[in-house]
Amino acid sequence: MTTTCLVTGGAGFIGCALSRTLPDHFDRVVALDNMHPQIHDSAERPADLDERVELVVGDVTSAADWDALLADVRPTAIVHLAAETGTGQSLTEATRHASVNVVGTTEMLDALVRHEVRPDKIVLTSSRAVYGEGAWTDAEGVVTYPGQRSAAMLEAGQWDFPGLTATPFESSRVVPAPTSVYGSTKLAQEHILLAWCLAMQVTPVIYRLQNVYGPGQSLSNPYTGIVSFFAQRAKAGEVIPVYEDGDIIRDFVFIDDVASAVVQGLLHSGANRDAYDIGSGEGTSIMTLARTIAEIYGAPEPQVNGMFRNGDVRSASCDISAAEAALDWHPQVMVGEGVRRLCAWIDERV
């Protein structure tokens, strides 16, 4: 039997990274992408998309585009990457995020039904944003969910929840409670896909990705992430601005490690109701990241500016032990080395 892998959003950052491996495991690999100008500088095929991958320009929210695609492509596996990902942007463009992330998913599933296609497996890349602030503990170790930091808290410079300590995200333990429109749409994606797959006897595999970075990410998209933004500021000899008090915690996971985790799940994982948490397994403060990048370029000392972004969480890291055990996967590139690789890649292009 001919095996075919369809990758939605397949010409993007993660899709291009996957394209280097997927053709080794499938007879045919097809990338569906709308080539949105926020991500792509031009409508031309990305140079980083492996030549063995077929590119189909189409929109996941369009039933007509799905019908045209499935008239020719009958996927045995799907990697669903297509999404709008701007946490702050989702507050002012909520309809766009819901349309792509939620309706785009339901359009895909409806199209599969119309064309009587039942892939063996659908892999969804969800996000750590579904957790919101996640679970915190008090001095006695009692777990509590403080919820979203209010605008009043942030305006007063109250960055933390007094008396509480953040804990790493872990899908079997931490209840999702999104603090952004983006996070809410990604959680809806998870629920929709699980319900459909279990009813249709399709294997669902869900990932909650931490902050993905590395060579290949867009350098023009303002919502692509702070690692490339910091690097470009430092390279220009400018001061890196650091929000809040600099002690925001994030888990930065290198693109190659994300791609290898997705491939492992695509090839080897059974259905997982508890999503795989994919990160480096280490939390890094934003100030530490900024200083690392400033040191690489000999840029001035980063400066805390006290600014904030509504919907951002204070601390986001994860426990990757379940993913490591189930997928026989381990991150290979920690943030110090990964940042240097990204900066070297930027230096070749800017």
Give the β-pairing of 136-137 and 165-166: antiparallel
Neighbouring C-beta atoms of residue 31, cutoff 10 Å? 28
Is 207 marked active-site? Answer: no
**Pairwise CA distance, residues 230 & 216, whole Å:** 16
**Exposure of 168 by Cβ count < 10 A (0-12 exposed, 13-18 middle, 19+ buried)?**
buried
Nearest to 165 by CA among 320, 318, 314: 314
Residue 144, φ and ψ in degrees, nearest 5: -140, 160
Neighbouring C-beta atoms of residue 236, cutoff 10 Å? 10
Catalytic residue (one of 182, 213, 276, 297):
182
Q: Which residues are the active-site residues?
A: 182
